[in-house]
């Protein structure tokens, strides 16, 4: 919670806004860059952009950010876990894998990021690797043919690496 209000640097935001010529028509690109920088869109950043870029308002920026699924309004973990729940992955057992991750990270229903901020979890539709189903992607690494046991070992390894 505190992280939301303390991570934003107005110097950094000014730099991003200026790199896109402070143009309203570049709003999506500005938001993408902000998300890349902070791994999500802090509310404070959206309000700032809305007040700095001519022709925008904080409400407009918030509306645009909420509309597009590519934007996350919640902080993401250091490790972003994506569990494919497309048809092939679902049929081959993505749900038990997802449940194993939730249990391992102690995530409550609706909770996307674990309490220590190390992992965030989301389901995605087909990743285009159905032959490897069920597929999990952590950051940019693809983990094929996952099982509950295998993903638990992967998470243990990442937890140790992060220590």
Residue 73 to residue 83: CA distance in whole angstroms:
19
Rounded CA-CA distance 47/104 in Å is 36
* 64/129 with CB nearer ligand FES: 129
Least Cβ distance, residue 145 to ligand FES (angstroms): 11
CA distance 105 to 114: 6
Residue 157 contacts residue 118 (beta carbons within 8 Å): no
Which C-beta is closer to ligand FES: that of 31 or that of 127?
127
Least distance in angstroms from the C-beta of 113 to ligand FES: 23
Measured between alpha carbons, how far is 78 from 86 in angstroms, rounded to an integer?
24
**Shortest Cβ 92–ligand FES spacing (Å):** 8
Q: How many alpha carbons lie under 13 Å from residue 53 in its C-beta half-sphere?
A: 30
Contact 102, 88 (CB under 8 A): no
Q: Which of 47, 62, 73, 126 binds ligand FES (CB under 6 A)?
A: 126
Which residues, 58 to 117, sit near ligand FES by CB under 6 A?
84, 86-89
From the list 4-12, 25-33, 114-122, 126-134, the region that binds ligand FES by CB under 6 A is 126-134
CB closer to ligand FES, 38 vs 85 = 85
Q: Is 145 in the site for ligand FES (CB under 6 A)?
A: no
User: Using CB atoms, what's the residue nearest to ligand FES?
Assistant: 86
């Amino acid at each position: 919670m505190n992280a939301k209000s303390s991570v934003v640097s107005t110097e950094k935001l000014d730099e991003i806004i200026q790199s896109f010529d402070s143009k309203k028509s570049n709003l999506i690109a500005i938001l993408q860059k902000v998300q890349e920088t902070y791994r999500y869109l802090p509310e404070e950043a959206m309000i700032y952009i809305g007040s700095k870029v001519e022709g925008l308002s904080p409400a407009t920026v918030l509306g645009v950010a909420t509309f597009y699924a590519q934007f996350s309004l919640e902080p993401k973990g250091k490790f972003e876990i994506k569990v494919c729940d497309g048809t092939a992955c679902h049929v081959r057992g993505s749900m038990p894998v997802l449940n194993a991750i939730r249990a391992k990270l102690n995530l409550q229903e609706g909770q996307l990021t674990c309490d220590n901020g190390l992992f965030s979890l989301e389901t995605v539709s087909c990743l285009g690797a159905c032959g490897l189903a069920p597929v999990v992607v952590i950051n940019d690494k693809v983990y094929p043919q996952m099982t509950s046991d295998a993903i638990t070992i992967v998470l243990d390894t990442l937890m140790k690496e992060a220590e």
